[in-house]
Amino acid sequence: MTAPSRGTVLTLDTLLGLVGGDFVDVVHAPAGLDIPVVAVLIHDTSTTAQANAGDLILAIGVAVDDPDVEPLMKLLGRDVTLAFKVRDDAERDRLRESAIACDATVLAISPDLSWDQLHVLARRSISSTTAGVADERGVPFGDLFALANAAAASLEGPVIIDDERMEVIAFSSLGDPIDEIRQQSILQRRPPKDFIAWCETTGVLPRVRQSLRPVKVVPPDGATRLVTAIRGGTDILGYIWVAETTRELDQQSEDLLAEIARVAALQLLRSRISEDLDRRLRSDLLRGALSGRGDPGTVASRLGIDGRPFRLVSFAHEVPDARRGEGHVALRPLEDLVALRVEASHRRGAVTSCNDRIYALFPALDDRPPGEVAALSREIIGQADRQLHIGLRAAVSSEVSDVALVSSARRDIDRLLNLPLLDEQRRVVCFDDSVADAILSELTELVVDRPRLLQGGVAGMVVSDRDRGTEYLPSLRAFFGAGGDLTAASRTLYVHRNTLKYRLTRIRDAFGVDVEVPAQRLVAELQVAVFTAHPELQAGLEATDLGTD
């Protein structure tokens, strides 16, 4: 097969970002996701025999169980991407086994995405890709440092490019003399605090944002500068600063800087699109991993956890709405907020939403303390409260070393979020600190799935409380909660100690639950926890189903 030119091509990861992880899943990608996609072909005998590296072949009408699948994969190899429709996880697993055995690059396509839609989208994406094309000045799109150097050479002064938050994203490096403001801006990736304060008190930045022309400023203890806003429509994308050195910044300099700002706007907009696609792809890969789908090697490499441990965090609404569930909370602003904090922590990671919850994957960093992820989760909850007026709670997984365990880690932290144990002081719970709660939650799931495990004396107490107005279940719950201390338990119930003692005797005699017998006490405590966490189970109990006399 002939290798395609690497100049101006669509890559597999960009295509996946455009299509979306709800419709396409990476089954196996032995060559990674940076391989090119230069043409789209529909599978038949003649086209497949002539396939070249970089082709995307749509296996239309080919079933996963077809005996010709593995020979086809072996013929195409890892440099050609092969796409199949899959109906369920069982088919996806069989497809993965074949792809791994044949060392082939394979995608699984959801039945919800038509072949025609994928074909049109891929062809349009290939034809519209212009990555690596230079502008009319020969400056590569997206290379802001090259643009800064070109601007510095034209204006004969050092240049700094800031984003909309006044954080340095590029600067010239032509050896021009620099003052303290420029030096500190480059070192700290942000202008000095006293310079920013001067800009605010003098109204420099509002004036720059309102002006369509560059503005000349003379900061204290610094060189004269020209600054202009980088605009994308009505949005401010950033700022370009040029300092005066040997050449005076005149009207011609202003005209040139205004033109450079227009070029910078195109590059920043293009960069934002690329970043959005990259974030979306990582989000889709994480969503697949949470469900146990996707090629582990691709997921690990793309999310920055290849050979590195990580923690998974789940964010949920603090007080779920019983009528509408948690989905009434707008997830997109929350997802954006969490994603920004993950990126600001200098991690690759990923953020996604799934089943009305936000999930964030944090690769471990050697220079960060163990509790740093929990602390960051608390900060995110505080920001959501202040900025979005949304109350959140969060659960942090233990440290995980294998990407194949992402779905297992998700189940662990989801169980913690489902427990009624988070309050105003404990809105973030860590698995490492809550192993007992996690085990109890998993046992609760097991019991709920097997209702016969709820039969016995505790179920009889529930029926009695429901139908006769007795208070056996809350009495037993208080007794267990107090560690078997009758005095402490009676205080929480606001009854006399002897009253509680009588109830426990009655529970033993009428329902056969003796809290002095270790095995009976263990089972009773688990059943009480299940009925407490799932009150809906109480309504379905019938006296004839209790397994008691």
pLDDT band, very low/low/confident/very high, at 282 (cuts 50, 70, 90):
confident
Q: Residues 101-160: pLDDT tens digits?
A: 999 999 999 887 888 778 877 876 776 554 344 444 444 444 688 888 888 888 989 999
Domain 10-128 -> CATH class: alpha beta
pLDDT at residue 8 is higher than 60: no
Q: Which of 240-254, 450-464, 493-507 has the lowest mean pLDDT?
A: 450-464
Residue 354 · residue 331 · CB < 8 Å: no
Architecture of domain 303-444: 2-Layer Sandwich (3.30)
Domain locations along the chain:
10-128, 144-272, 303-444, 450-545
What percentage of the chain has pLDDT greater than the value 90?
15
Q: Residues 314-350: pLDDT tens digits?
A: 998 875 443 334 444 457 778 878 887 777 665 678 8
Q: The domain 450-545 is classified under which CATH number: 1.10.10.2840, 3.10.20.600, 3.40.50.2300, 3.40.630.40? A: 1.10.10.2840
pLDDT given at position 542: 61
Q: Determine the Cα–Cα distance for residues 51 and 2; give it in Å rounded to an integer.
A: 9
CATH number at 144-272: 3.30.450.40
The closest of 143, 122, 139 to 36, measured between CA atoms, is 122
Same fold flag, 303-444 and 450-545? no
Report the mean per-residue pLDDT for the chain.
80
SS (H, E, C) 332-372: HHHHHHHHHHHHHCCCCCEEEEECCEEEEEEECCCCCCCCH
pLDDT given at position 200: 83
pTM of the model: 0.52
pLDDT given at position 134: 44
pLDDT band, very low/low/confident/very high, at 52 (cuts 50, 70, 90):
confident
Residue 205's Cα: distance from chain center in Å? 34
pLDDT at residue 534 is higher than 50: yes
Task: Identify the bridge partners of residue 430 per DSSP, sorted by sequence position.
Answer: 396
Question: What is the average pLDDT across 166-173?
Answer: 83
pLDDT given at position 46: 63
Q: Which residue has the tokens 């019938």?
A: 542
Q: Determine the Cα–Cα distance for residues 140 and 119; give it in Å rounded to an integer.
A: 30
Q: Residues 420-464: pLDDT tens digits?
A: 554 545 788 888 777 677 677 777 777 777 777 777 888 888 888
